[in-house]
Structure 1
């Protein structure tokens, strides 16, 4: 017996499962073949990384399954009796499911988005000869926090009885069963009940600005979206779900500070100066925890740089980093839950949402397009000048300053991307990303070496454990030093690519 033509319909509110069975029983014999109660929980990262790749992750009874969100077909799964909390991809047993999750999720943690109580029955549809001619799966799904029950049915035809399947399907339509639903239909209903919607958050900044806006109107819209990003990430920071909540929170702060600095004489001076100061303070408060997050994320990378005989020495180092990180996180959360922080955020929100944007300033009424071209092209020309002056004997600090300039250009491009042709903007940002990757890698290696040198200086000699630790840190410093030299040498060709004639022409045509 082979099933085919599996269809899934939503049962309308006007037709109960029992009423449907009664209608079918007028013509055919119906018998329950099996039934089952279970709970099904859907998981994804806060930024919908699985959903973006067209997957749904479910946990039901003893099974984790990664499913196609259109068909519901499982592409990878595991069975396990001990269903303890699994938040990160690397916590899953080795295998296809873990590999898929690692590739998609990276360092993001899994969130339980919604849980359904599910009751399913498989019905045999039999003819007068008591031969099974079709199966009907009747599935009742209830969101645990909601009273409504959703009923879906699946009609599974049997080879050789296709005409019966088609006839049943016609009858379903005649009885008002016409809405075909995909596997993700109830997932969407469930997350909506939890106050979310698929793709309602993305760490990548994107905003559509109307070209007839003034630069002040555009600036307020940009800052509103950045503030929304900060607020969306607060709960994840407080619950310490994963390191990306704090990362996105800090990036929104940096973008805000960069916007306040670059958009000179756009907002009222007192607003600009007040919030430049306030957001700089927030950057300082959140910096130590983020720095320690980065070191902990580098654990496998650090260990891979050392021979096996030295790796054990780093165990103490990462244990201390984890303890220190927890202490800094507690201090940071205390600040972010304080009335002082709430006042800063509420005052900034009040200005951005208020009907009175403040008095006219020197640039506030300029059209957004012209102003955007001017600041982007000026920043680009500054990078060409500063970067072109960097040689092999230039101090490291010159690369750090160029990194800051490049970051400001990147933020400006992202702020105003919607005002320019998408294809050309993607090319511009891609070229800049290459330069930023080089400069960011150089800076990261500098910061890591400085931290490790300070840590090494504080190690007390004497015990064997401390000796092993010091040797491991020394070996790691040597590896990082040589890698930084390679990154420094690669800067020359990276900058030549960025400053080349093709890229210069592209910038000139778009912004010059």
Structure 2
């Protein structure tokens, strides 16, 4: 049973002062992200799907901040590798949650189709429960608390200054001025990846429900390319949110809103791509939980059809994205 302290906690706005240096801002951003991670840990350990999601959001924000400042200061490799491993653990569990509670339910299965989907949902829920159990044990391990404590100390005490080759350089400028080139870099990376999608070759919605033959290596490559755009969009959006309190309000809000809308579309497509892989895993043991081969084929075909339609709907938003200008101070 979840208690009040186990309820999911969303990210708090990062509040920067205009007299802060870029280094001050970095410290405050990192500690803000870590508070969100810590605040959701108890709920995640108690198998709260939403707490797990918010803990993962906090970790994504933290890793985005580390990437944003990587050319100025770098978290020690051991801690960075620990955060990457934690992200994989949280992500694997979240993937089963989404399949069980969202993706399969979104196939609008009724009548005879419901009989195809129900065994898959039951199997996905079982895998989700097993994954939550393993994750809970990992979060209770001392090594997990040690990792977060070390990263908190790194930000709190500005441990990057202890490095023998540390040079303050750009970190000494005002946060507003220092944010501009960081945001511009994030936008250039996003624009480059969006242009690389080659949307003029996007397939038409031609994969009928029940037919998984269209799920091939080409589609997997396209899904990976869309995922890279999605990650770049998240990092650009997080960067703008981190510095929102010292940037032009209206321009920043429009920029964040544009990226959020794109993220939603790309997120739906990513959920479908992940579902293809998870459904393939469920299909490795036919007969278990009442799953038959035709159940898998039906769901994967449905996912392929949804993906083809989603890719077509993505073309205009991506064209607008290429023209989107980064926030300037």
TM-score normalized with structure 1 length: 0.55
Check if 1:220 corresponds to 2:37: no
Pick one of 63, 66, 72 that aligns with 1:260.
66
Q: Point out the structure with the larger helix share.
A: 2
Instruction: Kindly report which structure 2 residues correspond to 1:81-160, keeping only aligned pairs within 5 A, or say none.
Output: none
Check if 1:348 corresponds to 2:151: yes
- Contact 1:224/1:352, CA 8 A, preserved across alignment: yes
Check if 1:337 corresponds to 2:144: no
Instruction: Output one character per residue of 1:138-186: Cα deviation in whole Å (capped at 9) or x when no partner.
Output: xxxxxxxxxxxxxxxxxxxxxxxxxxxxxxxxxxxxxxxxxxxxxxxxx
Residue matched to 2:297: 474
Check if 1:486 corresponds to 2:309: yes
- Contact 2:56/2:87, CA 8 A, preserved across alignment: yes
Residue matched to 1:413: 240
Q: Distance in 1 between matches of 2:192 and 2:98?
A: 32
Q: Displacement, 1:310? A: 3.0
Pick one of 288, 293, 311 that aligns with 2:114.
311
Q: Distance in 1 between matches of 2:284 and 2:158?
A: 56
Q: Distance in 1 between matches of 2:91 and 2:196?
A: 31
Pick one of 424, 439, 449 that aligns with 2:276.
449
Q: Displacement, 1:436? A: 1.5
Residue matched to 1:289: 93
Q: Displacement, 1:202? A: 5.0
Q: Which runs of 5+ in 2 are unaligned?
A: 203-220
Judging changes above 3 Å, is the alpha-carbon distance between structure 1 residues 275 and 385 closer, same or farther for their aligned structure 2 residues?
A: same
Residue matched to 1:439: 266
Q: Distance in 2 between matches of 1:398 and 1:235?
A: 35
Q: Distance in 1 between matches of 2:158 and 2:227?
A: 40
Q: Displacement, 1:253? A: 1.0
Judging changes above 3 Å, is the alpha-carbon distance between structure 1 residues 390 and 317 closer, same or farther for their aligned structure 2 residues?
A: closer
Q: Which runs of 5+ in 1 are unaligned?
A: 1-86, 88-110, 114-194
Q: Displacement, 1:428? A: 0.8
Residue matched to 2:42: 235
Please state whether the residue corresponding to 2:201 is helix, strand or coil: coil
TM-score normalized with structure 2 length: 0.83
Q: Distance in 1 between matches of 2:311 and 2:58?
A: 29
Q: Displacement, 1:224? A: 0.8
Judging changes above 3 Å, is the alpha-carbon distance between structure 1 residues 493 and 280 closer, same or farther for their aligned structure 2 residues?
A: same
Q: Point out the structure with the larger strand share.
A: 1
Instruction: Output one character per residue of 1:94-141: Cα deviation in whole Å (capped at 9) or x when no partner.
Output: xxxxxxxxxxxxxxxxx675xxxxxxxxxxxxxxxxxxxxxxxxxxxx
Judging changes above 3 Å, is the alpha-carbon distance between structure 1 residues 399 and 338 closer, same or farther for their aligned structure 2 residues?
A: same
**Alignment length, in residue pairs?**
305
Q: Distance in 1 between matches of 2:144 and 2:121?
A: 31
Residue matched to 1:34: none
Whichever of the two has the greater Rg, that structure is: 1
Q: Distance in 2 between matches of 1:353 and 1:320?
A: 44
